[in-house]
A and B are shown apart, each in its own frame.
Chain A
Amino acid sequence: MVDAGHSSGVTLTVPKSRHFVEVSGVSKIFADGESSTEALRDISFSFPRNRFVSLVGHSGCGKSTLLRIIAGLEQVTAGSLSVDGMTPDEFSHDRPFGFVFQDAGLLPWKTTLENIRLPLDVMRFETPLVREERARSYLRLARLDGFENRYPSQLSGGMRQRASIARSLCYRPEVLLMDEPFGALDDFTRREMSDELLRIYAEQQCSVFFVTHSLPEAVLLSDHVVVLKPRPGRVEAIIDIDLPRPRSANVRSSSEFRRYLDQLEEMIFGDGHA
């Protein structure tokens, strides 16, 4: 653990019971024939509703696996996990999660609008007319007006991610999971996208779990940052980011922002670099 240089703004949260999202003692081992890989060991944390939580750490620390476990896409080897007091499967039965992938995961044969509308179609949500309206309003939220009839391959990487976010938000999930959504984008687009996400998050409150490699992104967006250390993935610290909301892009130049960032960098790269 890091000892020196902590400001008073940093607190380490102790898991409490009966939170909205509660992860306790979760371990995950991938067994593949004879070899097995321990991806996560004894992960515990819990957060109230509508918090923006980032998962950061070196590659191999199991951030994405943890996200997939919360989504119910992977099963835990040991430990337990609850969302609103239920298992992820029970919870998502009536309230499907939102999920944004690094590669967007749009269907190449559907237009932007059709892609955004897809979850509503699959869920047989109200009437086709209502779905159309809803999809259009999220198209606007993602600032994709004018691109509704383009196919994904005709969009830029940033636009594809915005479409993917709109697709996941249009059914108003209570929990939105984002797996390195901006990881494949260039630095400029990436920065624009985090500003966009900040704006979208302010407009539509939900609980977000956000896997990222970018510490500035994590500080800018999050209420809490879970720092994981690798091989096997364990929780190193949970840092609360007490920057006031609503935040704007220029919070980046504030001294508190800088301080949080330094702390995270110290914590993650401290051993060799600082």
Chain B
Amino acid sequence: MRERPETGSGHRIRAALLAYLPPLLLFLLVGAFWEWIVHARNIPRFLLPAPSVIALRIVTDWQNLLSNAGATLLAASSGFLIGTAAAVISGIVFVYSRTVERAFFPWAIIVKTVPILAIAPLLTIWLGFGIAPKIAVAAIACFFPTLVNVTRGLRSLERSVIDFMTIIHASKADVIRHARLYAALPYLFSAMKITVGMSVIGAIVAEFTGANQGIGTIIVNAGYRQDAVMLFSAIIVTSMATIALFYIVVLVERRALFWPGADIDQ
């Protein structure tokens, strides 16, 4: 009896090790190989800096990196929230009225097909060098995938559920409130897990075309100086920040999809 829980927790630790050890080992192995090849082959720093050099740069330059990454993340996450909210609201409107959907869907596709690289400078001209154009680009990047997924989710009710709602004279608003919104949640999160990364890319692209701060400006400047160490530092900081954002979405998802069998990604 006393041994049961111990073996149980031992089991869990072993399972965790088995899950995290291989990727961790591979990560370290690649890092070690990278470090080794740079030294062994005497690769110049401006071509491919060793991981140790990059790590040192991140540590010494952390204040600069952090404040700029913060600016980018603030823009990205604001744009992400705005774009997602706009997509959810549009999806609900589409479900209310097929006519509105038919009228507006081509516009959504236009927004989707125009390359972000092309609208970013325009938005900078219109909105200035501050945070506004970054938010706009990030929001545009998130909008379409979320709209498509959410609309599909809102329509994903079982036939019998729709019939029952008809039988009890539920209004469109009641069907949305009691059923469609929940049915859409798994689709929404599945879209958000993809678009959260796209919002960061959107914000950085907007920073390329002119901004007073952000990871994008660091990248552009480092590019001019051919400072590969700084470029790598910026890449690493950005991906860590994006991973953090991704896990925030996952955390919210776990709370929001409270009912068993809700996760469509499994």
Contact = CB atoms under 8 A, between A and B. Distances in A.
Interface of A: 68, 71, 73, 92-93, 96-99, 101-105, 107-110, 118-119, 121-123, 151, 153-154, 171
A107 B169 contact: no
Given A96-B167, A171-B168, A122 B178 contact: yes
A273 to B, nearest CB: 33
Question: Which among A110, A118, A123 has the highest number of chain B CB atoms within 10 Å?
Answer: A118
Contacts of A123: 168-169
B64 interface: no
Contacts, number: 64
B259 A105 contact: no
Contacts of B165: 122
A204 to B, nearest CB: 17
B65 to A, nearest CB: 42
A109 B259 contact: yes
A105 B261 CA distance: 15
B266 to A, nearest CB: 13
Contacts of B166: 73
B44 interface: no
Contacts of A107: 161, 178-179, 182
B164 interface: yes
Given A101-B160, A103-B158, A109 B262 contact: yes
B164 A99 contact: yes
B170 interface: yes
Contacts of A68: 163
A97 B167 contact: yes
A153 B167 contact: no
Contacts of A109: 182, 258-259, 262
A101 B164 contact: yes
A194 B178 CA distance: 30
B161 A96 contact: no
Interface string B166-206: 11111100100011001000000000000000000000000
19 contacts: A68-B163, A92-B167, A97-B167, A99-B163, A99-B167, A101-B160, A102-B160, A104-B160, A105-B160, A105-B164, A107-B178, A108-B259, A108-B262, A110-B178, A110-B259, A118-B168, A118-B178, A153-B259, A153-B260
Contacts of A151: 259-261
A93 B261 CA distance: 35
A109 B168 CA distance: 19
B120 to A, nearest CB: 39
Contact of B163 (A105, A119, A121, A154): A105
B169 A122 contact: yes
A122 B170 contact: yes
B158 A105 contact: yes
A96 B168 contact: yes
Contacts of B164: 99, 101, 105
B5 to A, nearest CB: 25
Nearest to A123: B168
Contacts of A122: 165, 168-171, 174, 178
Question: Which among B160, B161, B174, B182 has the highest number of chain A CB atoms within 10 Å?
Answer: B160
Given A118-B168, A122-B169, 20 more contacts: A71-B167, A73-B163, A73-B166, A92-B167, A93-B169, A97-B167, A98-B167, A101-B160, A101-B163, A101-B164, A105-B164, A108-B259, A109-B262, A110-B178, A118-B178, A121-B178, A122-B170, A122-B174, A151-B261, A154-B260
A107 to B, nearest CB: 6
A122 B164 CA distance: 11
The 10 A-B residue pairs with the shortest CB-CB distance, nearest first, are A105-B160, A101-B160, A109-B182, A109-B259, A153-B261, A119-B168, A122-B170, A99-B167, A153-B260, A151-B259
Contacts of B178: 107, 110, 118, 121-122
A109 B160 CA distance: 15
Question: Which among A71, A96, A109, A151 has the highest number of chain B CB atoms within 10 Å?
Answer: A109
Contacts of B174: 122
A156 to B, nearest CB: 14
Contacts of B161: 105, 107
Contacts of B168: 96, 118-119, 122-123, 171
Contact of B160 (A96, A103, A110): A103
A36 to B, nearest CB: 21
Interface in B212-266: 258-262
Nearest to A103: B160
Interface string B56-91: 000000000000000000000000000000000000
Contacts of A121: 178
Contacts of B160: 101-105
Contacts of A103: 158, 160
Contacts of B182: 107-109
A171 B259 CA distance: 26
B100 to A, nearest CB: 25
A247 B123 CA distance: 77
